[in-house]
Structure 1
């Protein structure tokens, strides 16, 4: 007896998704509520659980297909994995298969599309299921995915895992990446070309994820709709760094969380938004909506791309609450467990490009918000203090804003208020 697996409700106004990845193969045993597939919506990846315990049966849609809410995507058969494996093998022609390479040929990581097969000695562990972005990195660095410990949900590999492995073994990975000759995969690859002095050159076409398509569309809409402008200022981070150094141990001991930079910036943004409310406002039709609260969207790097979960009522939070919320978002982003509710309703965005080494940038507004603050790396630079040239840890701040709503004077004032609060953090405590 088979039980149908349907696409669950994905959130308000979302009627379809893309099947990003099958997490179980036909013939494999599944438990009740165990994830068997991953769906990509406009904002997040949603896992589809098995409604019953049994054996993964027929998969009715392929990875990359668009599916509607309520559509049947697979069937779960009754029984155990061992008993149902022969039946699944007999039905294998219904699903695409990958032929095994000869015993004398090393297994090519790209040969099985997104499912990278292990070598004979690792066969007992079964195949690794990798996302397209992780698979590309594995191929690029010439790494063996079976030797990398995954930090994602259920031990899956993330991009950070692969990058860390590549960093720890640079000498070994570079030659392997050059010598690797990927076989045709589920994505289309251009044939080798000899025009470049006899060196084989390949191209790979990978379908854009639904998340990446949505990001591309929304950012272009922002450029087409808003009258965007960016203004800059720099901040001497000496006082913030001294405060962190002085209190970090006590803070972590009391709150069980590290004291980071983001807490200072969120509190400073709340203080500045109170004095310049237009930065936290938005345009709706021919009206301007002003708010007495601040919901900060914080850009977080995830395996499938950049996501922006929202810190609700950030204006009323303390440093510990802000840091705990951000840490939780980062953990859940890597696990792919952020929900639609986590990423809707922000009124102002803070993006920290400094963690990747960015010195200066012009961030793009996230509609319907009217402004976004860009943080950058801290770098010692010569500045004049009391008539003397001294070295100070400086950071550039960038505020991109919708000039239809926010005037230049207001944008500059907002950054000046932030600069004052960060260079004298006592202002954050006594509300100046």
Structure 2
């Protein structure tokens, strides 16, 4: 299928608005994506027609809600090619998913002297849980280097993943550098040392096909709001062999089998991890977002975004004074582009771009260790999705040029 971004944009009503007297160009998709009308309508339909708690009632609304909620779990399973729905846990998002692994798997299997290996390019959500685990267990936290070109240093990975490694946790795609990490190679390396592999897929699942069985990862985490779904819903995939041995980290209703006065037993997978009333509407709407993405085709989305990168990256590189972080080859760079403009703070750049109607992110992007490693306090970041166009890319370039001229010569 040939992707027609101009036509697709009509499905996203938020994109059709004026910001600071300019048509909006939304380029903050790494932070959160916009939602198509179909997803918004699914949320409304649930609350208008099916609002009831799941797994508990036998009345019609409860049965409809439960059916839709579990159907969404099956859609997730198919989308990432998990073996069974028991391996699909609904969470609040990637952050919660990674914390569950650290607290549950980590508490059960990590011991004093073990090593946990991550990298300098990780999001805080894939750093702090492992810091806390290492401190609690007196384990050692080890960082894989990043090459000057912005790639994960695989030679360093081979040196640092060894017989003491218990967990390797790496982002599939960096939310700052924009490179795709060699996850399959890392998984094979981890498994060769009997370590488990945890993948932060927040920036990968929305943009490319992902097959967790083909990857052979042990855990894979991602968020709904970065893939056209609502906020507050995410997924943790885990191999059954691990989930069966792990204890829940939240307790209460919904996840129990029997509750006695002094002890309790848990439901079978996946429900033993999902305490309390879940984000029912969010899960159902995430399922609808998956339907929407499947209708376009994840291979088509990935191909189109790479075309956008091939178009915009050379244009940004050609602007004097602009530094692009991460791979410089468009074929090795995703639609996440962190950059700085010489002599200007990224917040000033982002504010100036906003005055041109162009929405980008500025700051450390929840990746302070990486920016310290790069020796920059912050960057601006433009991040593209399949509803962005080459016109959006041109607007970004024009806005950067206008910003540069303004700060050099004053108002035009």
Report 1 or 2 for greater relative contact order, CA contacts < 8 Å, sequence distance ≥ 6: 2
Question: TM-score w.r.t. structure 1 length?
Answer: 0.29
Question: TM-score w.r.t. structure 2 length?
Answer: 0.30
Q: Which has the larger helix fraction? A: 2
Q: Which has the larger strand fraction? A: 1
